[in-house]
Amino acid sequence: MSPASPFSQLSGSFRVRRPAAALLSATVLFCFALNGCSGDYCIIGIFNPTGIVTGTNNPCVNNKVMGNVSVRFTAAAAPADGPMAANLLHIFVTVQGIEAHPNAVANEDSPDWEELAPDIVRKPVQIDLLAHPASSCATNPIAGALIAAGAYRQIRLRLAPGHPTAVEAVPAQNACGELGFHCAISPDGHIHPLAFVGGVTNLHVAADRISGGFFHVLPDTDTHLTIEFNPFSSFATSSGNTVQLNPIFTMDTATLCGTAMTSEQ
């Protein structure tokens, strides 16, 4: 029977016999970059004159490097006769999570979503999607977070329940009153319940709407993300008193507020 290969598996320990004369006592570190992981995983092997190689696959202690990410929301500037400007003054959406994923086609239940705004997981924030044009620095700001450095190709906004239970967190301010936490306001001041086409609970910014197809988080570096609501591409229709919204977002990075920088190819 041929001797087992030390690379046949990455779990537990292994023992491999080699001719004693060919080996010197040494400690060797094998590192493997695993696809889908945020860092290298390593096997520490001890080679000794008896010809026995032993080792484990414990993750390297310093296998993850981090970068800081902050997020702001803006709205694309629209002319007076824009498709939404004429019939809606405000669109309030309550968000309880902003996440990024390195895979452009990741499943919703993937474990590799990185939380970009941990504060709003505990305390959801209500955002007016029409409040601030891209040229303004008085945007809807979101506190940032440290995440694993690397390239990210998808963002999702987790929406808060329209009518959360007593144990779920609620935003500190709510412009929608008794209608819940998502609403639209028309020029006459009337508040309309807001629903999302398809009943979705997550809103996505896909790779084709991220400048360059992805954004890159560098180690020990600040990355500023601007998520822009586009009223030209979005659709809002009425269904009774309810406004049905199919929102479209784009995303870019910026060195400073109002200074756009295209993602690296």
pTM of the model: 0.69
pLDDT of res. 214: 96
85-94, pLDDT tens digit by residue?
A: 447 889 999 9
Q: Kindly tell me if the per-residue pLDDT of 209 is higher than 70.
A: yes
220-262, pLDDT tens digit by residue?
A: 999 999 999 988 788 888 888 999 999 999 999 975 555 444 3
pLDDT of res. 108: 93
Q: Kindly tell me if the per-residue pLDDT of 205 is higher than 50.
A: yes
Lowest mean per-residue pLDDT among 3-17, 19-33, 72-86: 3-17
107-141, pLDDT tens digit by residue?
A: 999 999 999 999 999 899 999 998 876 666 656 67
Which carries the bigger pLDDT value, residue 169 or residue 233? Answer: 233
Q: Give the chain as a 3 state SS string.
A: CCCCCCCCCCCCCCCEECCHHHCCCEEEEEEEECCCCCCEEEEEEEECCCCEEEEECCECCCCCCEEEEEEEEEECCCCCCCCCCCCCCEEEEEEEEEEEECCCCCCCCCCCCEECCHHHHHCCEEEECCCCECCCCCCEEEEEEEEECEEECEEEEEECCCCCCCCCCCCCCCCCHHHCCCEEECCCCCEEEEEEHHHCCEEEECHHHEHHHCEEECCCCEEEEEEEECCCCCEEEEECCEEEEECCEEEEEEEECCEEECCCC
Computed over every residue of the chain, the mean pLDDT equals 74
- Parse the chain into domains and list their residue ranges: 16-56, 66-261
